[in-house]
Structure formats: structure tokens, C-alpha cells
Structure 1
């Protein structure tokens, strides 16, 4: 009986090793997910001001949606769908009410941004300057009655403050939640595929745009610190980031370097300093454009 009882633990270990080797799925890079995420962001988000530059303003009546507004319509539809797909592929899915709350917040915030952004483009056609605060704009100083300035300040509050918080907090939470599931045992450690390296530059550049134009540096840096802490915690358990985790880490790191270069280049600008008087100084690209290059976004 003793020899038989001594062999049983060895058999159990062999069975466990067999299961880990052949049953556990090997991590794979979600090319379709990241490609859709990148294309959506560049075409439907960053592409809006580009479309306004290319197409003449008189092609669309001022009291009707312009081409950039239609791109915003599509973004409001595709962004929640892609975020839901991220949550579906994450092994750590939050409770369903929390998922619904995050998606509803994103839809509401992007709707705020759609309205405010559309009105802002009309204001730019009559001389509104993005590098100056609402109340100090020459257009607003000549507005009658003067109480209308308060209405425009409320509009920009919905866009720049409330809308951005409701939009970007769920976005970074979902990215962090997805990243928390992008780990594998050291034995399955792999490098990023060539497709991931090709998407790295445009994805990092979009994060730079998100930080600068959306003024989300605090949310971004806290998310990056949380990702770094997650990596350190998982390494103690013998886990390392898979190809998706490496892609997110490298994208965030490259975006942080781009932001540092951007801020350093505009560090001594007095006009932008007045526009962003707070402790964290991250100038907006559209404000830089209206200040130095033109009057349209």
C-alpha cells in the first residue's frame, strides 16, 4: 500500500502539468479589437477637425450639421460598442449594472461634446479664439445682452468639464480593467507580433491627442501608475504581461514621452500659460493652431 500511496501525488502533479500545457489557452493579440479601436479614434475623433479644414465652411448651412458632426454621430455609436467588446474579452468583467452605467455615461458625455463642438465650430467662423477664455474672447465682449456669456460658459462647462469627466473616466477604467486580464504565466511569455508594432505609433499618438486636447493628464497618469502597480503585483505571482498588455504599456509610455516633448516645446508661451493657469500645464492642440496657424480647428 505504501508504494501505491507515494505515487499518487506524482501522478497528480503530472496531470496538473498536462492540463496547464495543453488545456490553458495561449494568449493571443487581439488585432481586430485594437485595429478597430485605432481606426475609429483617428477617423471619427481626430479626423473631425481635419475634415473641417479640408471642406469649405460654406458647403454646409450654419444651422445644420456639418461633415464633422456626422463623424461625431458615428463615433457616439462605435465607441460604446468597442468598449463593450473590450469588456467581453476581459476575464475580469464587472457587474452588469456597472457596465451599463459606464456605457450610458460615455454616450451622454459624447453627446454633450457633439453639441458643444458643433457650436464651437460656428463660433470660430465669426472670430472666436480657442486660446482665450470664454469671457475674454473679443466675440463675447461685444455680445448683447452680456448675460449671454454665462450661457456660453455653461455650454463649455458641459463640454470641457462635465462631459470630459463622464467620457474619459469610464474609458480609462475600461482600459485598466482590460489590462488587468492581459497576463500569462512566465512559461507562456511572448513578444509583441509585428502587427502590434505597426499599431503602436498611431495608438500612442492618439493617447497624446486624448491627453492634450481632452485635458486628461491626471486620469492618464493615474491609469498608467495603476497599470505599473498591477505589473509589479502580478510578477510576484509569476505572471507577466502578454502581447496585449505589452502593447498597452508601450503605447502609454510612448504617449507620455510625446506629452513631455509637447509641454517642453511650449513651456515659455505666455498666451497659453494664461489659458492654462493651473499647476498642470498641457496646452491644447486646437488652441495652439488658432493662436499660430489660423482661425479654424
Structure 2
């Protein structure tokens, strides 16, 4: 006995008859069912749960760390134990790889398993090094280390013996942890396209998440000093948009949120750099070709000194 075939989505019963009997509307029903299934499968979906988790963990666990370090009194936690910022950093080390893996699961374009595992290992390693450097920086600040000055210009380290230890950078920015992040964002964005016929308006939730996401990318560029990595990712996204448009594809809600957030972040960075363009102290701190001042340096240079005064 041959197995019965399933019904089409239109509800036709021709598939339940014997194989020798054919329904006059079989071809029409098959085509209607396949078109309907294709529309259901290819309909763009806004991943609100993923974006909410991504935004909350970035602002609470990543941006919240330097805020807690600068705002909370130092005597709340003993120096021989982890502080509030360290605990937030530990949670960030756990949540970030999970969210990046979830993004790769939602994207139709994924890396090989070996590349994914190496990327997760790189993120964990970079955030762990970042945790150690942040802990050292926090304790140095308690004895007078000034973030807006270079390592050699800091009064705390001028009398350090041997003097060769001064050449060891006390910076906390490890760009290796940002490479997998921007790579996953680009892979996720490259799969967020739909046909022009299915083009929809940007969801209201995407507009609500635009400002916090753009501000977080601004934080990554300025505090993390990732301008070059960010701009290359943004150019790759724009090239993907132009390539997809030639094939009749446009960004869906997820792609528009990512693209608009990156664009708004660049505007925020331009305003930030223009505001501090003529600052001589910060110019010495960031003496490279690309001048992007760090927010914590601005805080310790102006706001923190004013508070002490």
C-alpha cells in the first residue's frame, strides 16, 4: 500500500485518491500551495527578542562598567576583592558569546564551526584581558593615575623602577575582542534582506531601539578606539546593500535598524570629534593619525576635577 500524500494549503483532496486518478485542478492547487508556502517562509521577521537582549546587555554590562567605576565610592569594596565593575565584566564575558551565537543561528549566512569556535574563544580571551586591565586601571586611579595623560606623563609612574616598566601600556582596549563582534554583525546584516515586493515599513520597535544602539556604537568607537574596524564594517554593509539592490533585494527591519544605527553612530562621532577638536591635552593623549577622544578621559580631565574642586 502506497503512503498517502499530504493536502496542499488550499485544502484540495486530490492527493488522497489513488495514483491512477488525477484531479483536474491538481496543477493549479500545487502551484497555489507552493507560492503560499514560499511567501510564508520568506516573509521578513523583526527579531525583537534578540535586539532587546543585545541592547540591554550592552548598556548594563558594557557601558555600565566604567560608569560604576567612576561613580561608586572606592571604599565600598576592598581592593583585594572584585568590585561591582568586575562582576559586571564577568557577566558580560558570559552573555556576549551566547548572543553572538544566537545571531549566527538567526542569519542564513554562517561561518564554519571551526571559525565560530575560534571567534567565541577570541571574544572570551579579549574580554578576560579587558577585565584584568580594567581592574589594574581602577586601582591605579585610586593612587592618582590620570586617564587623560599618557603612561609616561602620569606622575604616578614617573618614579617607577625599573623605568622600562613604564613602556608597558596600561591601556584597556583589546581590539581582538571587537573583531568577532563586528564580523557577526556583518554576517547577520547580510542575511537581513527581502524582495522589493515584500518591502515593509520600519517597525516601531526598530525606531525605539535606534537611539540606544547608535549610542552604544558611538561608545565602541570612542571608548574602545575601534574607528577603523567600525568604518570598514560600515563600508562592507553599504557595498552589500548596493549588490543586493541589483538583485531586487532591500533591507528588512533588522537590516534597516543595523544600517541606521551605524549611520547615526558616525554622525555622533563626527559631532564628538568636532567638539573636542582643539583640545590640546586630549591631542597629546591621542597623538595618532585618527583623533577620537575617549569619554573616560574627558570625564577625568574636566568633570572629575570639577567635582573634586
Q: TM-score, normalised by structure 2?
A: 0.86
SS of residue paired to 2:42: coil
Aligned length: 280
The structure with the largest alpha-carbon Rg is: 2
Gaps of 5+ in 1: 1-9
* Mapped pair 1:237 → 2:237: no
Deviation at 1:168, TM superposition (A): 0.8
Name the SS of the counterpart of 1:294 in structure 2.
helix
Within the candidate set 29, 34, 44, 1:27 is matched to: 44
Q: 1:70-103 CA deviation, whole Å, 9 max, x = no partner?
A: 0000000000000000000000111110000101
1:250 corresponds to which residue?
260
Is 1:81 paired with 2:98? yes
CA contact (8 A) 2:42 2:194 kept: no
* Distance in 2 between residues matched to 1:89 and 1:78, nearest whole Å: 17
Deviation of the 1:231 alpha carbon:
0.3
Deviation track 1:133-154 (CA, whole Å, cap 9, x = no partner) reads 112211100223323324x42x
Q: Secondary structure at the match of 1:214?
A: coil
2:125 to 108, 124, 132: 108
Provide the C-alpha distance between the structure 1 equivalents of 2:135 and 2:108, rounded to a whole number of angstroms. Answer: 38
Give the C-alpha shift of residue 24 in structure 1: 2.6
Gaps of at least 5 residues in structure 2 are 1-26
Q: Alignment RMSD, CA only?
A: 2.0
> Do 2:109 and 2:191's aligned partners in 1 also have CA atoms closer than 8 Å?
yes
Alpha-carbon distance, 1:61 to partner: 1.1
Q: Which deviates more, 54-63 or 28-37? A: 54-63
Which residues of 2 match residues 125-136 of structure 1 at below 5 A? 125-136=142-153
In 2, the alpha carbon distance for the partners of 1:291 and 1:54 equals 15
Summarize the Cα distance change of 1:213–1:226 in structure 2 as closer, same or farther, 3 Å threshold.
same
Identify which of 212, 215, 232 aligns with 2:225.
Answer: 215
Say which of 228, 238, 244 aligns to 1:228.
238
Question: What is the TM-score of this pair, normalised by structure 1?
Answer: 0.89
**Helix, strand or coil: the match of 1:293?**
helix
Partner residue of 1:5?
none
Distance 1:266 1:13 in 2: 65
- Show CA shifts across 1:223-243 (max 9, x none): 011000000000000000000
Between structures 1 and 2, the one with greater helix share: 1
